[in-house]
């Protein structure tokens, strides 16, 4: 009886003991499992490194001219349309020339009138000279009085003075005729440069008034050569020099990099044009960012670039091609000797520290000058990866049957 009772108790408690042992083992595994660090590495490879200044800019024409009217009148005829290509000297518009023609006729008539007056005065002068000569001879022979001789001399001098005055009037009249001819020529408006009509400001039939300012008829721009006005921050402008290479992208083709070159840098920010006092200048510099305008030369042979396009410009300060490069994240502390500490994973899996010489550094990639070989792997960080937990399905042992 005691033996059977012991067997029954063993059959009851044995599954419970096994279950508790399995749960204890699982708990010990869960709470005592290690987290194994794994290193993130990158290979030392070859590539190009560029140190650049990033800025935003706007495309403009290399030469944009506002073609205006220098005389007032109605725009009688417009010879071009938007987008037309024009040559220097080509007729692009005509203003009603009737007022200028009438002015030219009037000034020509005035000139002819003054010339006729001079001819009359010349005849009178000839007569006065003969009279004075005769009176002088008669005075020598006591045949005429001194008064008659003096009167003849005075008349001669008056006529000579009047002819001199008429000569001045003739010169003025000729200038007036020349001015009228020039004004008549201004009614025919020609393009001053080779280019493309990029804007039509005044339509046919409109009246223009040139008494105060020259009204613009059309705008002609050279589009085969463009410029980019780029805003360079005051922190970067000291490193940018004329002659540096640059590349830029436009919104329509963000993956296509166009070549350019720095032509010049303006000596002062654009805000200086509106600053009137030292106080305003000081307040502006402390409250807003300061940008200097850089001018970039950009060839545009296919005409793809258009005026006022927005660009993102990279001005190349320094570059190195076909050099050893590593991620900048692999660089450790920099010593007083200028060398950086880099951790290298060897072929056997061990980690060793190297002192390497770095050239150009973009904070993304760094040029390796000395200390590493192509193909070696450098550690760029440590990644903590939790060990994969294993789960097992435990079957609960069947309950013993009570006897």
Assess if CATH 2.40.420.20 describes domain 39-49+321-386: yes
Give the model confidence (pLDDT) of 222-270 as tens digits: 999 999 999 999 999 999 999 999 999 999 899 999 999 999 999 998 8
Q: How many CB atoms lie within 10 A of CB 183?
A: 21
> Average pLDDT of 107-125?
92
Least confident of 40-44, 53-57, 211-215: 211-215
For domain 54-61+222-317, give the fold.
Elongation Factor Tu (Ef-tu); domain 3 (2.40.30)
Give the model confidence (pLDDT) of 274-323 as tens digits: 765 544 444 444 567 889 999 999 999 888 999 999 999 999 999 999 99
| Cα 187 to Cα 78, 98, 184, 193, 247, distances in angstroms | 12, 10, 6, 18, 45
> Average pLDDT of 90-94?
95
Give the pLDDT score at 12: 60
> Average pLDDT of 126-151?
80
Length of the chain, please? Answer: 403
Give the model confidence (pLDDT) of 44-62 as tens digits: 999 999 899 999 999 999 9
| Cα 290 to Cα 1, 268, 269, 279, 319, distances in angstroms | 103, 10, 7, 16, 27
Distance CA 111, CA 173 (A): 5
Residue 391's pLDDT band, with cuts at 50, 70 and 90, is very low
Closest to 357 in 3D by CA, of 346, 343, 345, 367: 367
Give the pLDDT score at 178: 96
- pTM equals 0.64
Least confident of 75-84, 157-166, 267-276, 359-368: 267-276
Give the domain ranges of the chain. Answer: 39-49+321-386, 54-61+222-317, 97-185
Which residues are bridge partners to 327 per DSSP?
365
Among 31-40, 113-122, 211-220, 280-289, the range of highest mean pLDDT: 113-122
φ/ψ of residue 136, rounded to 5? -70, -45
Geometric angle at alpha carbon 274, from 273 and 278, rounded to 5°: 100
φ/ψ of residue 64, rounded to 5? -115, 125
């Amino acid at each position: 009886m005691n033996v059977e009772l012991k067997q029954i108790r063993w059959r009851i408690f044995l599954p419970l003991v096994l279950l508790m042992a399995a749960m204890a083992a699982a708990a010990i595994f869960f709470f005592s499992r290690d987290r194994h660090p794994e290193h993130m590495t990158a290979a030392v490879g070859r590539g190009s490194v560029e140190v650049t200044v990033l800025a935003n800019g706007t495309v403009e024409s290399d030469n944009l001219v506002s073609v205006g009217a220098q005389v007032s009148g109605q725009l009688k005829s417009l010879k071009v349309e938007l987008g037309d290509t024009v040559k220097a000297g080509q007729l692009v518009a005509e203003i009603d020339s009737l007022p200028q023609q009438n002015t030219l006729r009037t000034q020509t008539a005035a000139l002819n009138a003054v010339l006729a007056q001079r001819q009359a005065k010349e005849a009178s002068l000839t007569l006065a000279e003969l009279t004075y000569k005769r009176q002088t001879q008669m005075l020598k022979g006591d045949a005429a009085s001194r008064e008659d001789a003096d009167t003849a001399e005075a008349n001669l001098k008056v006529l000579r003075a009047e002819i001199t005055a008429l000569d001045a009037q003739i010169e003025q009249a000729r200038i007036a005729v020349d001015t009228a001819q020039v004004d008549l020529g201004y009614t025919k408006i020609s393009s001053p440069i080779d280019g493309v009509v990029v804007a039509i400001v005044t339509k046919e039939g409109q009246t223009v008034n040139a008494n105060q300012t020259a009204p613009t008829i059309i705008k002609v721009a050279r589009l085969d050569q463009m410029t980019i006005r780029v805003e360079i921050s005051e922190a970067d402008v000291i490193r940018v020099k004329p002659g540096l290479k640059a590349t830029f992208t436009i919104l329509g083709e963000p993956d296509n990099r166009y070549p350019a070159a720095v032509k010049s840098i303006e000596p002062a920010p654009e805000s200086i044009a509106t600053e009137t006092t030292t106080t305003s200048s000081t307040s502006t510099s402390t409250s807003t960012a300061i940008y200097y305008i850089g001018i970039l030369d950009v060839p545009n042979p296919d005409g793809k670039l258009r005026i006022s396009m927005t660009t993102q410009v990279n001005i190349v300060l320094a570059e190195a091609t076909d050099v050893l490069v590593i991620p900048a994240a692999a660089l450790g502390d920099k010593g007083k000797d200028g060398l950086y500490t880099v951790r290298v994973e060897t072929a056997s899996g061990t980690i060793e520290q190297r002192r390497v010489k770095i050239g150009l550094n973009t904070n993304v990639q760094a040029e390796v000058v000395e200390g590493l070989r192509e193909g070696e792997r450098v550690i760029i960080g440590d990644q903590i990866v939790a060990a994969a937990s294993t789960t097992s399905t435990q079957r609960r042992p069947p309950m013993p049957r009570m006897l």
